[in-house]
Chains A and B, each alone.
Chain A
Amino acid sequence: MSETKTSRRPAVIALLLVAGLLLVPAAPAFAKTEIQFWHAMTGQLNDAVNALVKQFNDSQTEYEVKPLQKGNYAEALTAAIAAYRQRQAPNIVQVFEVGTQTMMLSGAILPVYQLMKEQEIAMDWKDFIAPVVGYYSKDGNLYSMPFNSSTPILFYNKDEFQKAGLDPTKPPQTWKQVEEYSKKLIASGASKCGFSTGWPSWVQIENMHALHDQPFATKHNGFDGLDVELLINREFGVKHMAQLVAWQKENVFSYGGRRGDADPKFLSGECAMYMQSSSLIGGFTKGASFKWATGQLPHYGAPYKRATSIIGGATLWVMKGKPANENRGTARFLKFISDTNQQMWWHVTTGYLAISNSAVKNLEAGYHFKKNPDQYTAFAQLTKGTATPNSQGLRLGNFVQIRDVIEAEMENVFAGKKTAKQGLDDAVAKSNELLKEFAAANKQ
């Protein structure tokens, strides 16, 4: 509807001009481009992320990365998805390793190698540690930037070892030794149980298969296609599960729950040995009231080869559809955190693995590992074994639910409701269903 405002029009124009003039000094020349970075780190790790981001922001004036804690890994992912559907996705989102396949096939991400190419930032891809990079690459190209990677290792209570007459500088290296030591520990009263484990599926199924050069799933652990089936109910898988159950009867092994629920078993001295993520080194340093040290995960020995373990943790994914100038900032941030200095700083501060060989070399040169031998265990386990196709990692769709299924069946086996073979068979059957569904939903 039109209305003649001839008498008011000059005044309005004048007002707009004045306002415009007032706004000019605040022109965007001084505004930094913001990069939204969503992550799932809590507590001290949250502080470390903030510190790392601050280092980047302080090092240049064009971009400002804004870190936002978005809950736990699952919540952060769902939030990112919801935001993406509303076209309000962040630039960078941290996603756990089990979400890799989902992210890769989503069509919502910009692969890191492509980002770097577009932004013409040179990266020395060969410098990255193979096991870490292999997990997140397709056709030799890196899709997401490794950020906080860890691998499970063996922690053991030196005080209790001593009490039981064992050499506190020699952790067990074979499963046979684990059994022997456990029995000695229990007999001498040094501890109530021999060992426990965190993240049952990740440590005892996924990593044990990789370490012993056994396939976890068909199609090269899922790397080669979507019509995948699990293989954990074959000879090796059943053997190890049955062994754990047998050991449970003698308290050599004591089940303590999923995730890190079993941590108190080690911390309270109930169990003298504990298999958990290397990222717990920091936490144990603060919380343990006894002397402890680390060793590599035990191995059954012949006829199995000793390969490497696989990683866990999360990586940073870049979301698609962002303007070019923001992408440039994102690329520079990712380059920054993968530089040797930042890698070293991150590793020393958080205990997560440094992912480039140069960083590891520098840490060695600076005697960091001599002073903190426990932090070298994880590296050694990842790089000093023989890398095989079975130890490169896992790439499965619906992996979150698959882990749940496996751990639920493990609990059924530990509770004596099913035999090892039965439990694993059921786990495989259910997981294969989930894999089929994923394949159907992602028909390419």
Chain B
Amino acid sequence: MHRTVFKSRWLPYVLVAPQMAVTVLFFFWPALKSLQLSLYRVSPFGDKSTFTGLDNFTKLLSDPAYYASVVNSVLFSGSVTVLAVLAALVLAGLATQKIRGLAIYRTLLLWPYGIAPAVAGIIFLFIFHPSYGILPYFLSFVTDYQFNWLLKSWVAMTLVIVATAWTHLGYNIAFYIAGLLAIPTSVIEAADVDGAGPIRRFVSIVFPLVSPITFYLVVLNMVFAFFESFGVIDAVTKGGPGQSTEILVYKLYRDGFIGLNLGSSGAQSVILMAMVITLTVLQFRFAEKKVTYR
């Protein structure tokens, strides 16, 4: 593919310099340091450090708490993704029908995206609160079951999943609306003429056409929920009850920042890095395929 390029000996370097500088200083250097840290046992004040090789890794990989937090992370991000993407598709589908007031509906659906997951968590914490939350209050009319998230880990997990999915909705809906709007009406009308009802139309035509968007959103939501949801956990459950909401990122923070175990924290960083790399490579592989599919 022939591209027109500009000729300059120094300009391109100047242009990439800022990004390169930040990348090296705040990505590569710390990443290498994490790698280095993971091979040592360091005392909190930094005065003693002993080389321990892969010790930190073996400790982690033989610690049931670590596997538990992997499971928690997968469960958490999987549920958030399914909930947020599915609900977004349905809502976007509704919001692109031929009805009046579309703009208002769309605005009302988009805005939760602006809420920080931590803030959403706090609001939901209050709503779910065993002592004075309104949700347990209303549920108590229906059943005697105690929805005490302080004791029951599934309630705590539900709480953080719902709070996080709630904030992602807006972003996903925006993408789906854009995608749905770009579907040529000719395709829809052809299906109409064929006698397909709205649901069949949706399933066999619309859904496949927006599958690239779906794929993109699934990956994005998963990555976001996996890595960036620290705020919700810290603001609401702090990993409890009994470590059932301790996701990988939270464990990393607790061990490194609060427990002052920099070696283990470094090892956890390295493992996380490996996971992200895998995910990103997978995403790019599939994305390339999907693009040619169109």
Contact = CB atoms under 8 A, between A and B. Distances in A.
Given A264-B131, A270-B131, A398-B259, A256 B150 contact: yes
Contacts of B44: 81, 102, 106
A102 B241 contact: no
A255 interface: yes
B132 A107 contact: no
Interface residues of A, number: 36
A84 B65 CA distance: 32
B30 interface: no
B79 to A, nearest CB: 20
B47 A106 contact: yes
A106 B45 CA distance: 6
A84 B259 CA distance: 17
B132 A268 contact: yes
Interface stretch (A114-122, A361-369, A434-442): A434-442
A78 B151 contact: no
A408 B131 CA distance: 21
B43 A411 contact: no
A415 B151 contact: yes
A106 B239 CA distance: 28
B21 interface: no
A74 B132 contact: no
Contacts of A106: 43-45, 47
A255 B151 contact: yes
Interface of B (DSSP majority class): loop
Interface in A259-300: 261, 264-265, 268, 270
Contact of B150 (A74, A85, A255, A401): A255
B260 A265 contact: no
Contacts of B1: none
Contacts of A264: 131-132
Contacts of B254: 401, 404
Nearest to A248: B151
Contacts of B132: 264, 268
B153 A415 contact: yes
A108 interface: yes
Interface in B223-251: 238-243
A15 B220 CA distance: 63
A85 B259 contact: no
A229 interface: no
B257 interface: yes
Given A411-B241, A415-B242, A441 B41 contact: yes
Interface string B31-61: 0000000000111111110100000000000
A192 to B, nearest CB: 10
Contact of A78 (B47, B152, B260): B260
Interface of A: 74, 77-78, 81, 84-85, 102, 106-108, 255-258, 261, 264-265, 268, 270, 398, 400-401, 404, 407-409, 411-412, 414-415, 417, 430, 437, 440-442
